[in-house]
Amino acid sequence: MDELLNTAPCGFLSFADDGVIWMVNATLLDSLGYDQNELLGRHVESILPVASRIFYQTHFFPLLKLHGKAEEIYLSLRAKDGAEVPVLVNAVRRTREGTVVNDCVMMQMRQRNQYEDEILQAKKLAEEATRAKDEFLAVVSHELRTPLTAILGWARMIKTGELDERTAARALDTIERNAESQNQLIEDLLDFSRIISGKIRLDVGQVELDSLAEAAIDVVRPAADAKGIRLQAVLDPRAGPVSGDPERLQQVLWNLLSNAIKFTPRGGRVQVRLARVNSSVEITVSDTGQGINAEFLPYVFERFRQADNTTTRQHSGLGLGLAITKHIVELHGGTIRAVSPGEGQGASFIVRLPVMIIHHVEQLSNDAEEQQAIARKSQTAELARLDGVRVLIVDDERDTRELLAAILTQSGAMVTAVSTAADALEMLRLKKQDLLVSDIEMPNEDGYSLIRRVRVLEEGQERRIPAIALTAHARASDRLRALSAGYQFHMPKPVEPAELVMAISNLTNRAQSSSPETAPDKSLNRSAG
Amino acid sequence: MTGKVLVRNNVKVFGKGTQPMLFAHGFGCDQNMWRFVTPAFEEDYRIVLFDYVGSGKSDLAAYNPERYGNLNGYAQDVLDICNVLELKDVIYVGHSVSSVTGMLASIREPERFEHLILVGPSPCYINDPPGYVGGFERADIEGLLDMMEKNYIGWSNFLAPVVMKNEERPELTRELEASFCSTDPKIARRFAEATFFSDNRSDVPKVKTPSLIMQCSEDAIAPLDVGDYLQLHLPQSTLRIMKATGHCPHMSHPEETIQLIKEYLTGARTS
**B203 close to B186: Cβ distance less than 8 angstroms:** no
In the prediction, which pLDDT does A311 show?
31
In the prediction, which pLDDT does A437 show?
95
Whole-number percent of chain A with pLDDT over 90: 29
Distance CA A527, CA A461 (A): 8
Is B250 in the active site? no
In the prediction, which pLDDT does A105 show?
95
Whole-number percent of chain B with pLDDT over 90: 61
Range in A138-152, A292-306, B129-143 the model is least confident about? A292-306
Q: Smallest CA–CA separation between A43 and chain B, in Å? A: 9
Instruction: Please report which confidence band the pLDDT of residue A116 belongs to, taking 50, 70 and 90 as the band edges.
Output: confident
User: Of A438, A459, A460, whose CA–CA distance to A449 is shortest?
Assistant: A438
pLDDT at B164 exceeding the cut of 50: no
In the prediction, which pLDDT does B180 show?
60
Distance of CA A196 to the CA centre of its chain: 9
Contact B251 A66 (CB under 8 A): yes
Distance CA A72, CA B211 (A): 39
pLDDT at B146 exceeding the cut of 70: yes
Q: Which residues of B touch A59 (CB under 8 A)?
A: 28-29, 148, 151, 180
Contact A63 B27 (CB under 8 A): no
Q: Smallest CA–CA separation between A71 and chain B, in Å? A: 9
Q: For residues A155-159, give the mean pLDDT.
A: 87
pLDDT tens-digit map of A496-510: 788 888 889 888 876
Let me know if B139 is exposed, middle or buried by CB neighbors in 10 A (0-12, 13-18, 19+).
exposed
> Exactly one of B25, B55, B77, B96 is catalytic; which is it?
B96
pLDDT at B176 exceeding the cut of 50: no
Q: For residues A481-488, give the mean pLDDT.
A: 88
Is B96 in the active site? yes
In the prediction, which pLDDT does B111 show?
94
In the prediction, which pLDDT does B1 show?
65
Whats the size of chain A, residue-wise? 529
Nearest beta carbon to residue B178 from set A50, A67, A123: A67
Q: For residues B67-79, give the mean pLDDT.
A: 94
Q: For residues B235-243, give the mean pLDDT.
A: 93
Give me the helices (H) in A160-205, please: 165-187, 189-197
| Average pLDDT over chain B, rounded to an integer | 86
| Residue type present at position A467 | A
In the prediction, which pLDDT does A67 show?
85
* B120 Rama sector, left if φ>0, alpha if ψ -120 to 50, beta otherwise: left
The 3-state secondary structure of A283-307 reads EEEEECCCCCCCCCHHHCCCCCCCC
User: Of B157, B212, B217, B237, whose CA–CA distance to A45 is shortest?
Assistant: B217
Handedness of CA A394, A395, A396, A399 (dihedral sign): negative
**pLDDT, greater one: B35 or A290:** B35
Instruction: Please report which confidence band the pLDDT of residue A240 belongs to, taking 50, 70 and 90 as the band edges.
Output: confident
pLDDT tens-digit map of A428-452: 988 889 999 999 888 888 899 999 9
Q: For residues B16-37, give the mean pLDDT.
A: 92
pLDDT tens-digit map of B182-231: 667 788 888 999 999 999 999 999 999 999 999 998 888 888 899 999 99
Nearest beta carbon to residue A74 from set B27, B140, B150: B150
Strands A269-277, A242-244: pairing is unpaired
Which positions ≥6 away from A5 have C-beta within 8 Å? A12, A25
Q: Which residues of B touch A116 (CB under 8 A)?
A: 150, 153
Give me the helices (H) in chain B, please: 2-8, 71-84, 97-108, 138-153, 156-164, 170-177, 185-196, 224-233, 249-252, 254-270
pLDDT tens-digit map of A341-389: 887 888 999 999 988 765 443 444 455 555 554 444 444 345 678 888 9
| Residue type present at position A500 | L
In the prediction, which pLDDT does A302 show?
66
pLDDT at B169 exceeding the cut of 50: no
Is B51 in the active site? no
3-state secondary structure of A433: coil
In the prediction, which pLDDT does A294 show?
80
**Smallest CA–CA distance from A46 into chain B, residue:** B220
In the prediction, which pLDDT does B109 show?
95
In the prediction, which pLDDT does A315 show?
38
